[in-house]
A = this chain, B = another copy of it.
Amino acid sequence: MEIRSQVLMVECADRPGMVHGITGVLLRAGVNIISNHEFVDLENGRFYMRTAFEGPSDPAALCLGVQAALPEGAAVSLHPPVPKRLVVLASREHHCLADLLVRNAYSELGAEIVAVVSNHDHLRSLAEKFGVPFHFAPHEGMSREDHDASVARIVASLGPDYLVLAKYMRLLGPAFVAAWPRRIINIHHSFLPAFTGARPYKQAFVRGVKVIGATAHFVTEQIDDGPIIVQQVIPVGHSHTAHDLAQAGRDVERAVLARALKLVLENRVFLCGNRTIIFD
């Protein structure tokens, strides 16, 4: 994934003339627009716009110019073509982490994995095979709060843009989550809102569903309830045991997580309440 263009993201109250105003600022700045996406959430009267452009520009001036063309309270951000920094949290399952490490090794993520943090020592050799620092933060004998805090200290020292929960099988407490708003991406092994909580494949088996799936979402304080970024399903049948479902599901999990990361890292994802707006 090559990142060469800058991306302007705008969110504000809707009113007439918004696109005209923003494109006017960009035109006067002399940049070369590559693509433009807009969406108006009519229900809430919110305007969203993403513009990818190339060319010389003074970021601060550009943002100020755009801001001036918008209603008060507008959120304007400008993302330079610089890889974001990721910290991956994992537990014992390797498949999502391995997929991310391979993509990272071949510069396909549009980001840099700066470290792996885990509550088990199990995946150390996998991370180190790819030259990525591995931090073991054992949870045994610790309260959830204390363990969260120990992970939080490691993460904070790494200064990531996003945290990726690649099958991190622990609940993160409210304090942790609050420290990284809209910055934690989780892969849940079911098509939410079906089968929240533990052992979704077992639940799916018992219910006798004919499709299973995976959901990548932002983490909020409410477990398995954050804004959904990507969902995908595969067909299954009566001959699949709960174990078979889990095995088949792994391929969907890592595909969904990789896809969600690509969208987030290319600055294509906006939040609108508990829903995502995705310009793809």
Question: In whole angstroms, what is the CA distance A160 to B216 when docked?
Answer: 39
In the complex, how many residues of chain A place their beta carbon closer than 8 angstroms to a beta carbon of chain B?
A: 62
Nearest-Cβ distance from residue A126 to partner chain B, whole angstroms? 8
Contact indicator B247/A1 (Cβ below 8 Å):
yes
Q: Does A17 contact B (CB under 8 A)?
A: yes
Residues of B within 8 Å of A16, CB to CB, are 27, 32-33
**Number of copies of this chain in the oligomer?**
4
Question: In whole angstroms, what is the CA distance A210 to B231 when docked?
Answer: 6
Nearest-Cβ distance from residue A258 to partner chain B, whole angstroms? 7
Contact indicator B278/A237 (Cβ below 8 Å):
yes
Contact indicator B19/A239 (Cβ below 8 Å):
no
The 0/1 profile, CB within 8 Å of B marked 1, for residues 228-244 of chain A is 11111100011101000
Q: Does A77 contact B (CB under 8 A)?
A: no
The 0/1 profile, CB within 8 Å of B marked 1, for residues 168-181 of chain A is 00000000000000
Question: A102-B102, A210-B230, A213-B211 are known contacts. Are A238 and B39 too (CB-CB below 8 A)?
Answer: yes
Residue on B nearest A259 in the bound complex, by CB: B251
Residues of B within 8 Å of A40, CB to CB, are 33-35
A191-210 CB contacts (< 8 Å) to partner B: 191-195, 206-210
Q: Does A38 contact B (CB under 8 A)?
A: yes
Contact indicator B38/A35 (Cβ below 8 Å):
yes
Nearest-Cβ distance from residue A66 to partner chain B, whole angstroms? 13
